[in-house]
Amino acid sequence: MLHRRPTVSFLLEDRPANLLAVSGLGSSTWDLSAAGDNSCNFGFIGAMGQAAPFALGLALAQPEKRVVLFTGDGEILMSLGILATIANLAPENLSLVVLDNEAYSETGGQPTATAGPTDLEQVAKGAGFTNTQSVTHDSALPALREMIRGTRGPHFANIKIVAEELPLVFPYSFDGVTAINRFRDAATA
Amino acid sequence: MAKSMTSQRLVDWHQDIFDVLIAHNISIVAHVPDAGHGPLINKCEAHSEMQTVTLTTEQDGVGLLSGAWAGGRKGVLLMQSSGVGNTINALALPSICRIPFLTIVTMRGEWGEFIPWQVPMGQGTPKVLEAMGVRLFRVDASEDVGSAVEAAVNSAYNTRQSAAVLLSQKMIGAKQFKQG
């Protein structure tokens, strides 16, 4: 079991300029912010289930850049069909990283389906991803970091993390227009 | 008078939509397949600079096109009125970020509908879209399709709003069902 904040920070350490990072509603957005503000970050604070579709659209629009999505098990479970859509389109520049604490941590820690028999790596495999992994030890992180930055995708990594309450770290702006304008300028630069 | 002889049938409105999309450099066409959009989807799939994306649910189209716009590409979501209900909370994303969002909706459940299950969402479609701040461009005659799509494209991409073209079931023609 890994800790979410050091995991995200490690994966983004010394990030290349062409790496665009998207985060799903809730804790993943606080994690992305905690790793350091960057104009190439866009964090969802709502529209649950839409972070992976957004990352896909971004990857299609910017094929020369790399796109990584950080999201939670609860957020990705809301729209599992997108995994089939991504696997069929197979964008080479897209990596999905799920921070799986087996709980809806923002709403009191109620268990998600992954606390039961659901295995998101197997779901991704069944959807058609050929490059998948389940991470349970931080020894796998250096290779994952390289994969996000350069290996032909799409990738799906499910990282088992500790369910822990952490201080919220807010993104650049809660105002959607301010946030997306800065991100779009950086993403299209 | 035979329905096939009305003037509406002389206009290739699928082609008119396609021409507007091309003229505005709209290159990502996301859809959940629909018979009413079928000829348009075929035209888009056959065009080398268009990218069609078959979704498993309409809501994913909202996020997909929002991400594409953030990356500098323009798109459109093609769906049936029954799919509109799937998009509602996702529409918070283009709304709060003022991301341009364009959709073209084929209406069911409003004119000569055979399937009762199509009626609730068909009747609810204009109301729920308006409730989420989407501007509506309704079309009842095939000769008006091109100009309505043009207006919706400009509304979405020039003013950064959400816009929906509603193609009426009367214009499309109600799907015929025959048993056995």
Which helix (H) or strand (E) is B97 found in, with range? Answer: helix B92-97
Q: Which residues of A touch B (CB under 8 A)?
A: 22, 42, 44, 46-62, 65, 79, 81-82, 84-85, 88-89, 176-177, 179-180, 183-184, 187-188
How many CB atoms are located within 10 Å of the residue B111 CB? 15
| Inter-chain touch B67–A61, beta carbons under 8 Å | yes
Q: Which two tokens stand for residue B153?
A: 């494209």
pLDDT of A7 > 60? The answer is yes
CA atoms within 13 A on the CB side of B176: 3
Beta bridge partners of B29: B52, B76
ipTM of the complex: 0.97
Q: Which residues of B touch A (CB under 8 A)?
A: 28, 51, 53-57, 59-73, 75, 89-90, 92-93, 96-99
CA distance A1 to chain B (A): 31
CB nearest to A50's CB, from B53, B62, B69: B62
With 0-12 / 13-18 / 19 or more C-beta atoms within 10 angstroms meaning exposed / middle / buried, residue B46 is exposed
Q: Which residues of chain B have pLDDT under 50?
A: 1-5, 7-8
Lowest mean pLDDT among A2-6, A114-118, A156-160, B109-113: B109-113
A76 backbone dihedrals φ, ψ, rounded to 5°:
-70, -30
- Which of B45, B57, B64 best tests the A interface by mutation, with the highest count of A CBs <10 A? B64
How many CB atoms are located within 10 Å of the residue A106 CB? 15
* pTM for the predicted model, two decimal places: 0.96
Model pLDDT, residue B9: 53
B54 backbone dihedrals φ, ψ, rounded to 5°:
-85, 120
Structure confidence by residue, pLDDT tens digits, A116-155: 999 999 999 999 999 999 999 999 999 999 999 998 999 9
Quote the percentage of chain A above a pLDDT of 90. Answer: 98
Q: By 3-state DSSP, what share of chain B in percent is helix, strand and coil, each rounded to 5?
A: 50, 20, 30
- Mean pLDDT over A16-40 rounds to 97
pLDDT averaged over chain A? 97
Model pLDDT, residue B36: 93
Chain A partners within 8 Å of B55 (Cβ): 81, 85
What separation in angstroms does the CA of A95 have from each of A71, A99, B22, B29, B48? 11, 13, 31, 23, 26
